[in-house]
Chain A
């Protein structure tokens, strides 16, 4: 069979994308275990150009604004090595975080996805972080549980409210030393209030960490002045969050 130029060209187009990328990565995934006081976690993804042509890394795109990474300025020469450094800014994130970084080079079909996994330690697990009393609910005390994570040596919690009309009491669970109970009771319910509870464990001693919970009370109808919209029978029935 006589092979035409068009056929040969088409075949080449079909086979070209299957060509292996020249950049060989030492690791496509990085498992990071930042300390409790760390503000960021840094991952290193090393590569080597195993081809015979220079390769330019044209784009490095993290999946999240919380991760920064940049391509090298110069092309990677044959036989040369380098690395992509990705910095994950922890912020107020907790638990396992998985972020991806898409790397594109000037070789056709050579996209690579790097994965950064950071296990941000949970010093305290607060549940729930929001207490809400609606207009129609009786103002009874509610409880927030604070569970100490891992083997952290938390022995005491200091809890304060930004509003003096919200009473808070903290007690350690006598059976479970890793658990604390925070009982929250709004004292007055005839005015709407939004309060923030600051929860501070006694660990780590040098760099204390603060945790938060939020309290919201919609004015209670029976306590509200007669002219208040909250006393109106048309007041919206509220759901518990």
Chain B
């Protein structure tokens, strides 16, 4: 019995090793554990709370947009930026908000589109929904 207990303690100790290593490596740097603070990111609840004042922009490729998108969203991706941008700017409302999304958390197309809208077109109130279309679909019936 004592032998089994000793082996269990040894296994638990081994399992803790990587955690201890990480804690030592990131000592004094708690920011690494926190959610990155990006002022341009919004949660789905926040964006939905803005109601009709939101212009939703879908930064995914055409074929993904065609197979499903946020109701009322316009397509704007960098594959065809020049072709798609005029329709977006004609719809944009100065007092409204723009929320850009792509497929999921791991994609970065929404950030690229949002940055160009801010830096090149000079639009304000441009936000990114980090969870993207995946998050929208998961919450569609809630």
Contact = CB atoms under 8 A, between A and B. Distances in A.
Given A64-B108, A92-B79, A239-B124, A1 B85 contact: no
Nearest to A92: B81
Nearest to B17: A14
A211 B83 CA distance: 11
Given A238-B94, A238-B95, A239-B95, A91 B64 contact: no
B121 interface: yes
B68 to A, nearest CB: 15
Interface stretch (A20-28, A74-82, A126-134): A126-134
B21 to A, nearest CB: 13
A10 interface: yes
Contacts of B107: 63-64
Given A66-B79, A130-B123, A212 B85 contact: yes
Contacts of B49: none
Contacts of B92: 241
A92 B82 contact: yes
Interface string A38-77: 0000000000000000000000000111100000000000
Given A1-B3, A92-B80, A216-B89, A10 B122 contact: no
Q: Is the interface of A mostly helix, strand, loop or mixed?
A: loop
Band of interface residues on A: 35 or more
A226 interface: no
Given A89-B79, A91-B78, A128 B11 contact: no
Nearest to A91: B79
Interface in A126-171: 126-130, 132, 134
B14 interface: yes
Interface in B73-113: 77-83, 85-86, 89-90, 92-95, 103, 106-109, 112
Contacts of B60: 65
A216 B81 contact: no
A228 interface: no
Interface in A22-37: none
A196 B86 CA distance: 7
